[in-house]
Amino acid sequence: MPSYTPSPSPSLSASPAPAPARLDVAADLLALLRDTRTEPRPDPQLEALTLAVSADLPVLLWGEPGIGKTAALTQLADTLDLPLTTVIASVHEPSDFSGLPVIGDDPAEQGVPLAPPDWAVRLVRQGRGLLFLDELSTATPAVQAALLRLVLERRIGSLRLPADVRIVAAANPRASAADGWELSAPLANRFVHLQWAHDHEVVIRGLGGTWPRAVLPRLDPALLPGAVDRARRAVCGLLTARPALVHRLPGTETRRGGAWPSPRSWDMALSLIAFATAAGSDRDVLSLLVRGTVGDGSGLELLAWLDRMDLPDPELLLADPVHAELPERGDRRQATLEGVVEVVKSLLTEDRWNAAWALLVRAMETGAPDLVVVPATTLAALRREDWDVPEAIERLAGVVSMSRRADRSMARAAKERTGAGR
Amino acid sequence: MSGEASTGGLELDREKLFAARLHAARVRPYLATALFALHPVESRRVPTMAVDRHWRCYVSPAFVARTPVEELAGVWVHEVSHLLRDHHGRGDRVARARGLTGAADRLRINIAADCEINDDAYGDGLVPPEGVLTPQSLGLPEGKLMEDYLGRFRLEQWPNLMAAWLDCGSGADGLEREWDLGPDGAHGLSEQERDGIRFRVAQGITGRPGTAPKGWQRWADRALHPPQPWRELLGAAVRTATSGAGAGEDHSHGRPSRRSSALPGIVLPSLRRRPPRVTVVIDTSASVSDGELGSALLEVAAITRAVGGRRDLVSVVSCDAAARIAHPVCQAEGITLIGGGGTDLRTGFTVALRARPRPDVVVVLTDGQTPWPARRPDCRTVVGLFARPVRHVDEDDPDYVPDRPPDWARVVRIG
């Protein structure tokens, strides 16, 4: 203040041009910096977010500040063609979410209406949109309480958000938030929890000028009925076999604020399987969604169940063993072959028995032979006395000799142990 | 690859390699899923057998040719163990945490990982390969984890180690090898698929207890229910307790907002700051180690300050046996130490609740060998329970079982 000189400096009055010109150069530099390219790149976490939002389930993104949650939401809003409204929860008061009490002329007669904030009114007027509630975990408890009513009941004061408004919230991980907040178990159970992490490689490439452009999932109308059927079969099948998984409140302190299985979250998982199936998403995306809904343990069991459900149908394989497509992965291939032997055993005819041998030959010729040994042994034991030995068995001679080799090796290993010396 | 194979001379003896895998799967049925999920890749650059984090197993044809089937079976189990135990992920994490950057450090990680596997991998149908590394051969105790072994030996101590060492690849220590096919190569498993296999193997082990050795059962328990760090648990509990309604910073309609005068007719809440008062009750027998108690007390003080409590709002009620530990810690931290209680936890509670103004939260640090107050106190209670593997036996009353902490307290197991 004391050093202020009221008269313009001589250099400025002599040439007024440099000031805007300098900013022009700065603008050029900024334009160069902003001139980045994008490249398509699969992004499972963004895909999972898109599917959960499409399924109209409240999503909670857990992630450190500054790792691109807002950027992801912007891209998501673009893709879904929804206007994005971002509300930073921590700078608001509870009344911004629950409505401001406005006292009229005669409160006793007319009551006290709760006036909604402007963004909510706009959102209702638009009829659709993506509402992003950022920094949920640093807001005061009263604000959080008001927000949760908004998320779960979709009400702001006297307003009700239209059905086409989708809500996503973001919170900092409990460990890193100094003034962090714990979700209570019932509230946690209503969210799809997605962990948001940055990909080192993507960040480096992005700073170098090329940001990823995720190709987001599209629901295929033709797949819808099949997707619902698959989702129902998966969840009902698993819960029939494992009734204990239906409801399991987490026992430890830190897990209560995360995903855990209950009829409500299984219902959410069912929707998400249907959405992921209809979108043709891969297993990684489904895994993020399912584990973020019913928790890690139950989620992994469900995925294992789906894995088994997705194995090729043994009856179809038996119908055309020579052209059968067997899974590539060894453990799944073995499970498939054992499934085939199982169905042959349940309805034993010579034709089916022969077809199974043909299938084992096919398996040996297209993959690792050791997988065939156990199914072949079981199948051989099913033979009825009057059945001819199929030709196919000769082509499995290599498998038999390999099995014997393993037997001899096991015998040597056993001798080694008892023989001591080492 | 096929061109290389035709000029390389020696063909990979697939039958031998797979006979060995069959042997391995028969003697370790609980690992069969994982063994069959491994995808073998013939490679002339790998010295023996090595895995990458995408569950490919690189195999040297020459190594297969010169190694007996029964030893190859052991190598299969060894390699799949690296993957199941997530040595690459843990190797990466430990390297980052301890600043281990060189190739020699990765070699040490590989050796430490080998020690973790080999102490109970062999025997019972599996023959240890020639020159196998065991904790015993390095003069180290058995049954530890890779992270423990890592700090316990130095390469210079064992100049002839290199000859004996098997390079287990990037799957064992997280360092990419020149033969790795990378994430985009064929037959790699995605992270979720890897988790799925690990989960299924662990489930198989816990589902049939008694068939797998102790080390694998411990692994399976951890894979299904990973241990929770007590600092985070205690932090979460204290934070929840101190930031609940009635304490901390919150909005309330109790006093009108300063903006109210500008907006007649509208009732605005105001932001009120009421830092939580926390009293820590230390009730402990001499069995609690000083280090444990000191660090737990410091942890509670740090958490409380982080949620807005001032130093003068944290106080400690100490029982006689613990005063010796609590005093110095409180002095150093500027925490008030109020009166000594008895040897009974209930006295500690009484002292804590008698204070005026009353605390918002009582944190109790105890080993649980104590009676509890009959009714719920008027404030939130967090119990930090020190783990005591051996139960205290009272000679006068051998059937005495200590009461469990009551339901109204949030309980966190420490240590």
Contact of A275 with A229, CB cutoff 8 Å: no
Least confident window among A72-86, A327-341, B394-408:
B394-408
Mean pLDDT of A52-80: 86
Instruction: Examine the pLDDT at B406 and tell me if it is beyond 60.
Output: yes
Residues in contact with B119: Cβ distance below 8 Å, sequence separation at least 6, in sequence order: B134, B135, B136, B142, B143, B215
Q: Is residue A4 part of a domain?
A: no
CATH of the domain at A160: 3.40.50.300
**Alpha carbons B50 and B52: distance in angstroms, whole number:** 7
- pLDDT at residue A194, as a whole number: 92
Say yes or no for a CB contact (<8 Å) between B191 and A304. Answer: no
Q: How does pLDDT run across A138-147, given as a tens digit for each residue?
A: 777 678 778 8
Q: How does pLDDT run across B69-101, given as a tens digit for each residue?
A: 999 999 999 999 999 998 988 888 888 888 887
Instruction: Work out the angle at residue A259's Cα, subtended by the Cα atoms of residues A257 and A260, and round it to the nearest 5 degrees.
Output: 105
Can you give the residue ranges of every domain in chain B?
14-224, 230-388+397-414
- pLDDT at residue A292, as a whole number: 93
The Cα of A139 is separated from the nearest Cα of chain B by a number of Å equal to 9
Last residue of a domain, one of A250, A275, A310: A310
Of B23, B37, B244, the CB nearest to A331: B37
Which residue(s) pair with B266 in the sheet? A102
User: For A257, which residue in chain B has the nearest alpha carbon?
Assistant: B236
The Cα of A77 is separated from the nearest Cα of chain B by a number of Å equal to 27
Least confident window among A50-59, B77-86, B187-196:
B187-196
Least confident window among A120-129, A183-192, B272-281:
B272-281
Instruction: Examine the pLDDT at B8 and tell me if it is beyond 80.
Output: no
Contact of B109 with B173, CB cutoff 8 Å: yes
Instruction: Examine the pLDDT at B165 and tell me if it is beyond 60.
Output: no
Cβ-Cβ contacts under 8 Å, B84 against chain A: none
Contact of B142 with B136, CB cutoff 8 Å: yes
The Cα of B397 is separated from the nearest Cα of chain A by a number of Å equal to 32
Mean pLDDT of B104-125: 85
Contact of B299 with B236, CB cutoff 8 Å: no
Q: How would residue B6 be classed by pLDDT, with cut points 50, 70 and 90? A: very low
Across A20-81, the runs of DSSP E, i.e. the strands, are: 37-40, 59-62
Backbone φ and ψ for B218, nearest 5 degrees, come out as -60, -45
Residues A228 and A208 placed together within one structural domain of the fold: no
Q: How would residue A182 be classed by pLDDT, with cut points 50, 70 and 90? A: low
- Two structure tokens written together for B116: 């973790």
Packed helices B290-306 and B320-333: angle between N→C axes, nearest 10 degrees = 50
Backbone dihedral region for residue B234 (phi beyond 0: left; psi -120 to 50: alpha; all else: beta): alpha
Instruction: Examine the pLDDT at B120 and tell me if it is beyond 50.
Output: yes
Q: How does pLDDT run across B249-307, given as a tens digit for each residue?
A: 566 666 666 666 666 666 666 666 667 788 888 876 655 666 777 777 777 777 777 66
Say yes or no for a CB contact (<8 Å) between A368 and B21. Answer: yes
Q: Show the domain range for A347.
A: 314-421
Mean pLDDT of B151-168: 67
Of A142, A253, A373, the CB nearest to B412: A253
Look up the ipTM and state it: 0.73
CA A125 to chain centre: 32
Contact of B89 with B72, CB cutoff 8 Å: no
Q: How does pLDDT run across B16-67, given as a tens digit for each residue?
A: 999 999 999 999 999 999 999 999 999 888 888 999 989 999 999 999 999 9
How far apart, in Å, are the Cα atoms of B143 and each of A390, A392, B78, B121?
A: 51, 49, 16, 11
SS (H, E, C) B20-71: HHHHHHHHCHHHHHHHHHCEEEECCCCCCEEECCCCEEEECHHHHHHCCHHH
Residues A274 and A206 placed together within one structural domain of the fold: no
Residues A201 and A290 placed together within one structural domain of the fold: no
How far apart, in Å, are the Cα atoms of A380 and each of A356, A399, B97, B121?
A: 10, 13, 55, 33
User: What pTM value is reported for the model?
Assistant: 0.75
Instruction: Examine the pLDDT at B137 and tell me if it is beyond 50.
Output: yes
Contact of A213 with A39, CB cutoff 8 Å: yes
Share of residues in chain B with pLDDT > 70 (%): 75
**Residues within 8 A of B (CB atoms), A 384-403 only:** 398, 401-403
Residues A300 and A368 placed together within one structural domain of the fold: no
Of A255, A300, A406, the CB nearest to B196: A300
- pLDDT at residue A22, as a whole number: 79
Say yes or no for a CB contact (<8 Å) between B266 and A101. Answer: yes
Mean pLDDT of A259-273: 94
- Which tops the pLDDT comparison, A120 or A256? A120
- Which tops the pLDDT comparison, A277 or B366? A277
CA B120 to chain centre: 21
- pLDDT at residue B7, as a whole number: 40
Last residue of a domain, one of A244, A279, A310: A310
Radius of gyration of chain B (CA): 29
How far apart, in Å, are the Cα atoms of B213 and each of A370, A394, A400, B359?
A: 25, 39, 30, 50
Residues A202 and A236 placed together within one structural domain of the fold: no
Residues A164 and A95 placed together within one structural domain of the fold: yes
Say yes or no for a CB contact (<8 Å) between B266 and A102. Answer: yes
Residues A378 and A267 placed together within one structural domain of the fold: no
- Two structure tokens written together for B305: 């300050």
Q: Is residue A337 part of a domain?
A: yes
Helix, strand, or coil (residue A30): helix
Instruction: Examine the pLDDT at B232 and tell me if it is beyond 80.
Output: no
Least confident window among A162-166, A401-405, B386-390:
B386-390
Residues in contact with B285: Cβ distance below 8 Å, sequence separation at least 6, in sequence order: B321, B367, B369, B392
- pLDDT at residue B285, as a whole number: 62
User: For B263, which residue in chain A has the nearest alpha carbon?
Assistant: A102
CA B271 to chain centre: 40
CB pairs under 8 A between A and B: 179
CATH of domain B230-388+397-414: 3.40.50
User: For A398, which residue in chain B has the nearest alpha carbon?
Assistant: B15
Residues A172 and A58 placed together within one structural domain of the fold: yes
Say yes or no for a CB contact (<8 Å) between A254 and B233. Answer: yes
- pLDDT at residue A421, as a whole number: 39
- Two structure tokens written together for A118: 């402007």
Max Cα-Cα span within chain B: 94
- pLDDT at residue A264, as a whole number: 94
Helix, strand, or coil (residue B339): strand
What residue type is assigned to position B356 of the chain? R
- pLDDT at residue B373, as a whole number: 81
**Alpha carbons B321 and B289: distance in angstroms, whole number:** 11
Q: Is residue A9 part of a domain?
A: no
Instruction: Examine the pLDDT at A233 and tell me if it is beyond 80.
Output: yes
Which one of B67, B70, B75 makes the best mutation probe of the A interface by having the most chain A beta carbons within 10 Å?
B70
Q: How does pLDDT run across A394-420, given as a tens digit for each residue?
A: 888 888 888 999 999 999 988 875 544
Residues A226 and A319 placed together within one structural domain of the fold: no
- What b/e readout covers A197-222, taking b as 16+ CB neighbours within 10 angstroms? eeeeeeeeebeeeebbebebbebeee
Cβ-Cβ contacts under 8 Å, B191 against chain A: 284
How far apart, in Å, are the Cα atoms of A314 and each of A304, A308, A321, A379, B32?
A: 18, 12, 10, 14, 21
- pLDDT at residue B256, as a whole number: 63
- Per DSSP, the residues of A137-176 read GGS-HHHHHHHHHHHHH-EETTEE--TEEEEEEEE--TTT
The pLDDT mean for chain B works out to 77
Helix, strand, or coil (residue B181): coil
Which residue(s) pair with B251 in the sheet? B271
Residues A88 and A150 placed together within one structural domain of the fold: yes
Instruction: Examine the pLDDT at A238 and tell me if it is beyond 80.
Output: yes
**Alpha carbons A95 and A147: distance in angstroms, whole number:** 10
Residues A318 and A365 placed together within one structural domain of the fold: yes
**Alpha carbons A344 and B110: distance in angstroms, whole number:** 46
Can you say whether the dihedral through the CA atoms of A265, A266, A270, A272 is positive or negative? positive
Mean pLDDT of A244-273: 85
Residues A387 and A263 placed together within one structural domain of the fold: no
Count, residues in chain B: 415
Say yes or no for a CB contact (<8 Å) between B306 and A178. Answer: yes
Of A102, A257, A413, the CB nearest to B265: A102
Number of structural domains in chain A: 3
Instruction: Examine the pLDDT at A360 and tell me if it is beyond 90.
Output: yes
**Alpha carbons A159 and A147: distance in angstroms, whole number:** 14
CA atoms within 13 A on the CB side of A108: 0
**Alpha carbons A246 and A240: distance in angstroms, whole number:** 9
Instruction: Examine the pLDDT at B197 and tell me if it is beyond 50.
Output: yes
Q: Is residue A19 part of a domain?
A: no
Q: Is residue A62 part of a domain?
A: yes
- pLDDT at residue B24, as a whole number: 94
Last residue of a domain, one of A178, A197, A213: A213
**Alpha carbons B46 and B57: distance in angstroms, whole number:** 10
- Two structure tokens written together for A351: 């034709």
- Strands B248-252, B49-51: pairing kind: unpaired
